Structure 1
Amino acid sequence: MISQQSMISVIKPIHTDTYHHILKIIQKYELDYIIDDDWNYAAQLDAENAIFERLDPHKLASCIDVANIDTPIKIILLNIEPTQITTILDELNKYHQELEMIHHSNEYNIDITAQNINKYTALQYIFDADVKYIAFGNDHNDIVMLQHASNGYIIGPSEAYTHAILKLDKVKHIDNNALAICKVLKSYK
């Protein structure tokens, strides 16, 4: 989903059959989730979850029943039992040609979108071409965007924390503070 000239567009939703398969996995393993629709969302998660306070902070959308999701664009499976991760990923991989999945092993979450839907493809869609850009990211959701950037910066508490992302060419670690970010931005004057 992107916003251009005050209009929200869904680039590519998750296919209906695939979505219903994911719902069966959610039910089978009794998973917590957030499912984004084209505007509203469905959610089942503990209020103590760190994502909960970031979920619709301005109260612009509505939390709706999962049965009312018409255009699923992103699903986050949350708080997965460590012993179930591999099994759930195996079940989701049956749809690997239709899905983009990011496994957050340190958080036991899986982010799911339609295949080739990520921050990089959103940039391509907005600019209608490959463009040169500098990217800042802070987690696995940003890897593809960082891979295609002229220069990329992973913002995190330490290089050890971001070690998987730092293996990418042209990606450097910077500390998670405004001064570090400003220093990088000033270098591009």
Structure 2
Amino acid sequence: MGNSDFEWLRKFVISGNLDYLVDTDWDYALKNQHDEITNINQKIDQNHLAKNISLNEIAQAIKFNILNFSGDEVAFNKLNVEIIRHENTKSLDITAKNINKYTTFRRYFPSENYIAFGNDANDVKLLKHAAYSVAIGDNPALNFADEYLSALTMTQFLKEKKWQK
């Protein structure tokens, strides 16, 4: 994400007293006063390998999430970013243009066919380009997937396919 876009987003969330999760290449900044909506606080860095640092300590962001946000996205039109809205958690995932799971995968595996698993709107591009796509859960953004599984049936599916021992 470009520095000017990141600075604009930083000022936006601070001035609006908004909740956020900002990822760097290793650490993160989290402010989430309404975890009952996003249900994310306990899922972040469960092994305590990174640090929750101040937003002001971040010089370069990889991903900027605005949490619990029900506002309009028009304010972001001037930025050179991609936005994925998560209706169920009222959150926005913001990354630099053309930076997503699919483009990152293709950077390392330029022509290989692959099987993709995903559960959220930020998995759409990766799953759409997969030779075989598996949606976990019932997210309507993934209604094009080749297969649909619940989190409970995924382990059985992998054992049947012998992808897991």
Question: Using a 3 Å threshold, how does the CA distance of structure 1 residues 64 and 163 change in structure 2: closer, same or farther?
Answer: closer
Which residue is 1:63 aligned to?
Answer: 52
Contact 2:21 2:66 in 1 (8 A): yes
2:75 maps to which of 88, 91, 101:
91
**Alpha-carbon shift at residue 37 of structure 1 (Å):** 1.2
RMSD: 1.9
Which residue is 1:136 aligned to?
Answer: 117
**Alpha-carbon shift at residue 181 of structure 1 (Å):** 4.1
Which residue is 1:105 aligned to?
Answer: 87
2:41 maps to which of 46, 52, 62:
52
SS at match of 2:30: strand
SS at match of 1:94: coil
Which residue is 2:126 aligned to?
Answer: 145
1:26 to 2:7 alignment: no
**Alpha-carbon shift at residue 47 of structure 1 (Å):** 7.7
Contact 2:34 2:68 in 1 (8 A): no
SS at match of 1:43: strand
Q: Which amino acid aligns with 2:117?
A: F
**Alpha-carbon shift at residue 53 of structure 1 (Å):** 0.7
1:38 to 2:25 alignment: yes
Structure 1: distance between partners of 2:16 and 2:83: 18
Contact 1:35 1:75 in 2 (8 A): yes
**Alpha-carbon shift at residue 69 of structure 1 (Å):** 0.6
Structure 1: distance between partners of 2:6 and 2:123: 23
SS at match of 2:78: helix
Q: Deviations over 1:97-148 (max 9, x none)?
A: x212110012100011111111111111122x12200111111111110011
Aligned length: 159
Question: 5+ residue gaps in structure 1?
Answer: 1-13
Structure 1: distance between partners of 2:34 and 2:75: 28
Q: Deviations over 1:23-42 (max 9, x none)?
A: 12212322100111121111
1:114 maps to which of 96, 100, 111:
96
Structure 2: distance between partners of 1:61 and 1:126: 25
Contact 1:46 1:52 in 2 (8 A): no
Q: What percent identity do the matched residue pairs reach? A: 33
**Alpha-carbon shift at residue 186 of structure 1 (Å):** 4.3
**TM-score by structure 2 length?**
0.87
1:182 to 2:163 alignment: no
